[in-house]
Amino acid sequence: MKHNHRSSHRLPFGAALAAVLVLCLGQTGCHQGGSSDAPKATIQNKGSDTMVNLAQAWAEEYKKAVPGVEVEVSGGGSGVGIAALVKGTIDIANASRNMKPEEIDQAKKNTGKTPKEFIVGYDALAIYVHKDNPMTEITLDQIAQIYVEGGTITKWSDLGVKIPNASGDDIVRVSRQSNSGTYEFLREHVLNKKDFKLGSRDMNGSKEVVELVASTPTAIGYSGMGYATPAVKMLKVKKTAADPAFDPNVANTLAKTYPIARSLQVYTLGDPQGAVKAYIDWMLSAAGQKVVEASGYVPLPPSARGQP
């Protein structure tokens, strides 16, 4: 997880808002409206399902602050957003993982521009079980042995757990599809880049993971902390059996004590300009970071934010 990543090209917030009224020349998906009213820009924003609720909340709040700008948000996964950015068909890609070197190289080849990364918040990747599951904590190795190819944990009894009123003992593994940044993050940081075992229930979105765990007493799944509901439980996570266990929350994420926290980032092609730059500057401002916290994620520390 990266910290204190700040753009050196950020305008003061007032100047950034003023830039919205400038024509969005050079932006792929940023268009002027045909109305005789105030100039209107449209920003195309696509990617991470972990971030899609946050991105939609940002778009709604920004429209209140700057009525002349429409931000069109869609999900599909970090890989989908990054692929669209690499092709030059969107303005902003949301990603819960970092762009890969080969993706950056392909973007340069296709568009002549180097992708620019902006960290906009943090997420504790939560391990979810059904609310009636008596388990309260789990180690990184136990998570790996549940999900990794050849892993030795297949039943709740392997963990010393008995699920009340359950008809079986087999662990129902709920996962994400391979275009998900969350899938890739778990594979890299918990499975040590090894493959997932076959037979999991692979869901299209973060919300769907939590919903399936909520309706399946013997299930376990992983998703962003912002998708927690009363019907599920987020387990405490510890590095090894000898280490202390930590809850996935704001304080533990910022303190770097929660073992599987990660940065959330957006990407543009080159340094953003015009309305796109103004929008990203607003995301990084105190107003934009309030939306991060309200959406259940971890805002940037004040030292890493833009102007109020």
pTM exceeds 0.85 = no
- What is the 8-class DSSP label of residue 37? S
pLDDT for the residue numbered 117: 97
Query: pLDDT per residue over 67-116, tens digit each?
Result: 999 999 999 999 999 999 999 999 999 999 999 999 999 999 999 999 99
Q: What are phi and psi of 221, to 5 degrees?
A: -150, 170
pLDDT for the residue numbered 307: 54
Measured CA to CA in angstroms, residue 109 lies from 95, 114, 173, 268, 273 at distances of 21, 9, 39, 15, 21
Which of 297, 306, 302 minimizes the C-alpha distance to 50? 297
As a whole number, mean pLDDT of residues 245-256 equals 94
CA distance 158 to 142: 10
pLDDT for the residue numbered 73: 97
CA distance 19 to 31: 14
pLDDT for the residue numbered 110: 97
Task: Compare 16 and 244 and report the one with higher pLDDT.
Answer: 244
pLDDT at 300 over 50: yes
CB atoms within 10 A of CB 40: 17
Taking the domain 13-122+264-304, which CATH number applies? 3.40.190.10
Class of 124-254 in CATH? alpha beta
pLDDT for the residue numbered 8: 37
As a whole number, mean pLDDT of residues 249-262 equals 94
Helix (H) or strand (E) holding 52: helix 52-65
- Measured at the CA of 300, the angle between CA 296 and CA 304, to 5 degrees, comes to 170
pLDDT at 24 over 90: no
Domains of the chain: which residue ranges? 13-122+264-304, 124-254
Measured CA to CA in angstroms, residue 132 lies from 146, 159, 163, 301 at distances of 19, 16, 7, 35
pLDDT at 11 over 80: no
Task: Compare 163 and 25 and report the one with higher pLDDT.
Answer: 163
The reply to whether domains 13-122+264-304 and 124-254 share a CATH topology is yes
pLDDT for the residue numbered 143: 98
CA distance 254 to 258: 9
Query: pLDDT per residue over 285-294, tens digit each?
Result: 999 999 999 9
**DSSP for 183-228?**
HHHHHHHTSTTPPBPS--EEESSHHHHHHHHHT-TTEEEEEEGGG-
